[in-house]
Structure 1
Amino acid sequence: MERSSKRMDCCLALAVLLAAFFNVPQTHAQQPQVSITELAPGLFVHVGAIALMTRENEGAIANIGFVVGNDAVAVVDTGGSVREGRELLAAIRARTDKPIRYVINTHGHPDHVFGNAAFLGKGTAFVGHKNLPQALAARGPFYLDAFRKIMGDGLIDDVRIVPPTLLVEGSLRLDLGGRTLVLQAWPAAHSDSDLSVLDETTKTLFAGDLVFLDHIPVMDGSVRGWLRIMDDLAKQPAERVVPGHGPVSQWPTALAGERRYLETLAADVRTLIKRGAPIGVAADTAAASERSRWQLFDDYNARNATAAFSEIEWE
């Protein structure tokens, strides 16, 4: 119980730190529009900016998309604001009038779920990891308060914390009519509620934040758990991956940079712990050799190192 309490305290502290990173001067929004690319027949993706969530970008920093089957549509993540969610909905309706049967959330972070309310009241089932309802209940109010300060009332007033009604434990197959999506729930890695989505027809994997490219990986779950699932994740029968952040890439070679970063982070932290170094030294120095390889390194590496230190010191 003591370890669980310390981990919860650490998670809250990291969330506060995350919000601090996002706390930028607020000016008038630029009204970005969601640009959609058809990667393969019936599979559409918006590649988000590699940036922090701000009022200017309306939180549109995550990769989101949708898949169209013969009978229905499934959405994979909805973006960082209801405005972005509505733009995604409009993009869907510009291409098909088929019912949106599922909204799948790959995990519970704001840049992936704050657009959910745009899809309420349409007979749509919300789908997520079995741990996602608890994660949203525990953190949702904090997320709303923190991002209201960052993004302003106009973008946050419409946001609703929408828990999934269809929970995934292990794997689940969703039929869109002649097109099957395979959902896989993962142990704690990037977060404690990570879900991947494989479109069997095009062999495209929506990995959520289990995969980062260019954007430094962000750890909110377990560095050891993330490394443990790497081999199983690489075995997903895909040819391309839509990461949570960064460009669409070939699979599984897209995992190489992330694996190297996490291995370096864990090894550096273990070395520092063995030397008796304090957590502040880990925050300043762990994985420093990776700085030139990642965007937003200075925004996230310190919190990654702090979380890894708090986890690994229990070994």
Structure 2
Amino acid sequence: MRLAPAAFALGLLAVTVLAQAHQEVLAQPPRAVGEAAGDALTTVEIAPGVYVHEGAEALAAPDNRGDIANLGFVVGAEGVAVIDTGGSVAIGRALLAAIREVTALPVLAVINTHMHPDHTFGNAAFRGAGPQGADPAFFAHAKLGRALAVRAGHYRASTSLAMGDAGAGPEEIVLPDRDVAEGGEIDLGGRVLRLTAWPTAHTDNDLTVLDLATGTLFAGDLVFVHHLPVVDGSIAGWLAVHPRLAELSATRVVPGHGPAAVPWPAALAPQRRYLEGVAAEVRRAIAEGTPLARAVADAPEPAAGWVLVDAFHRRNVTAAYAELEWE
């Protein structure tokens, strides 16, 4: 069932259940610091009505307040959909301020692409930003709510450790009230967004958002550019969804981390090569009887062009070994 945008503006939401030349993007220079203009995050309009804030390619720290992920919003005739809200309530508020510089329309939907705090901890800033001062609808993969609730304490502690007073974590962890089990569509008023829930890959609760009007794909952390990919779900599962991702009818992609937008599907190639390389090396080590600690210590360095290698590469090898030794 789908409801008209006017009904949506009264607080209801339409969700339709669905059945379901190569370019080296690593050559683009990485950003070191997230930027903000006054109280509002800086955004760029990458396609008509599609705005993106490019987060810093860095770990969460006091100076960036958790502003380390790409965030976006899409404007329709009846309202706005927000895609990811940042790593703190302060960043969420700055994103809302950026939206208000573009439009006074209500925020009809907040969509989280997965559970990680740099994408979800700004959710509370959007309370009351919906129609007539109500809350917007909060969308996510059907598995996100439980996963985030279970990890909330750990995430609060880790962000507090990383960011000090700037990152104690929101008092309220806002969980989704609209679960997406397979797929669905949100109509913002002449502007349809297609949501797709994915099998376990980067996490077990990855969700993509495709703006049908402009062919813009918000991929969350299913796609990393510059920032080394991070395995928190299944390396085999992530590689398995790459062909399906590449088939999505998009013109450009907003990665979870990296430039605001890059050509599609060329953006997938460096990530796929990295993940394939890790999987191949780990399988070789397992076949040769190399223990985990030795396999991690001897893991070859990734190709040049990735940032945050020291923070994540050996962690990825550890996660891949723990998964693939049971194949």
Is 1:82–1:159's contact at 8 Å kept on the other side of the alignment?
A: no
Q: How far apart, CA to CA, are the structure 2 residues paired with 1:102 and 1:80? A: 18
Listed one character per residue, the Cα deviations across residues 18-41 of structure 1 (whole Å, up to 9, x for unaligned) are xxxxxxxxxxxxx98521101111
- Give the aligned partner of residue 198 of structure 1: 210
- Give the aligned partner of residue 44 of structure 1: 51
- Give the aligned partner of residue 109 of structure 2: 102
Is 2:40–2:98's contact at 8 Å kept on the other side of the alignment?
A: no
Q: Give the alignment partner of residue 56 of structure 1, picking from 50, 63, 80.
A: 63
- Give the aligned partner of residue 223 of structure 1: 235
Q: Which amino acid aligns with 2:74?
A: V
Is 1:207–1:243's contact at 8 Å kept on the other side of the alignment?
A: yes
Q: How far apart, CA to CA, are the structure 1 residues paired with 2:217 and 2:140? A: 16
Q: Which amino acid aligns with 2:310?
A: D
1:163 matches 2:163: no
- Runs of at least 4 residues of structure 1 off by over 4 A? none
Q: How far apart, CA to CA, are the structure 1 residues paired with 2:281 and 2:148? A: 32
Matched residue SS, 2:62: coil
Q: Cα 1:251–1:159, aligned 2, differ >3 Å: closer, same or farther?
A: farther
Q: Give the alignment partner of residue 176 of structure 1, picking from 176, 188, 194.
A: 188
Matched residue SS, 1:62: coil
Shift of 1:156: 2.4
Is 1:114–1:159's contact at 8 Å kept on the other side of the alignment?
A: no
- Give the aligned partner of residue 137 of structure 2: 125
Shift of 1:290: 1.5
- Give the aligned partner of residue 273 of structure 1: 286
Matched residue SS, 1:292: coil
Is 1:283–1:301's contact at 8 Å kept on the other side of the alignment?
A: no
Greater shift in the superposed pair: 148-157 or 299-308: 148-157
Listed one character per residue, the Cα deviations across residues 233-272 of structure 1 (whole Å, up to 9, x for unaligned) are 1111100000000111100011000000000000000000
Q: How far apart, CA to CA, are the structure 2 residues paired with 1:154 and 1:302? A: 28
Matched residue SS, 1:49: coil
Is 1:115–1:159's contact at 8 Å kept on the other side of the alignment?
A: no
Unpaired stretches in structure 2, ≥5 consecutive residues = 1-37, 130-134
- Give the aligned partner of residue 90 of structure 2: 83
Q: How far apart, CA to CA, are the structure 2 residues paired with 1:106 and 1:157? A: 19
1:66 matches 2:73: yes
Q: How far apart, CA to CA, are the structure 1 residues paired with 2:104 and 2:128? A: 16
Is 1:216–1:295's contact at 8 Å kept on the other side of the alignment?
A: yes
Greater share of residues in helix:
1
TM-score normalized by the length of structure 1: 0.88
Q: How far apart, CA to CA, are the structure 1 residues paired with 2:142 and 2:311? A: 30
Q: Cα 1:153–1:42, aligned 2, differ >3 Å: closer, same or farther?
A: same
Listed one character per residue, the Cα deviations across residues 147-179 of structure 1 (whole Å, up to 9, x for unaligned) are 112212344254521110000011110000000
Matched residue SS, 2:185: strand
- Give the aligned partner of residue 26 of structure 1: none
Q: How far apart, CA to CA, are the structure 2 residues paired with 1:278 and 1:108? A: 31
Shift of 1:110: 0.8
Unpaired stretches in structure 1, ≥5 consecutive residues = 1-30
Is 1:59–1:80's contact at 8 Å kept on the other side of the alignment?
A: yes
- Give the aligned partner of residue 298 of structure 1: 310
- Give the aligned partner of residue 134 of structure 1: 146
Q: How far apart, CA to CA, are the structure 2 residues paired with 1:191 and 1:246? A: 18
Q: Which amino acid aligns with 1:314?
A: W
Q: Give the alignment partner of residue 153 of structure 1, picking from 137, 153, 165.
A: 165
Higher relative contact order (CA 8 A, sep 6+): 2
The percent identity for this pair of structures is: 53
Listed one character per residue, the Cα deviations across residues 254-294 of structure 1 (whole Å, up to 9, x for unaligned) are 100000000000000000001111111222233x2424231
Matched residue SS, 1:310: helix
Q: How far apart, CA to CA, are the structure 2 residues paired with 1:124 and 1:285? A: 49
Shift of 1:120: 1.4
Shift of 1:214: 0.7
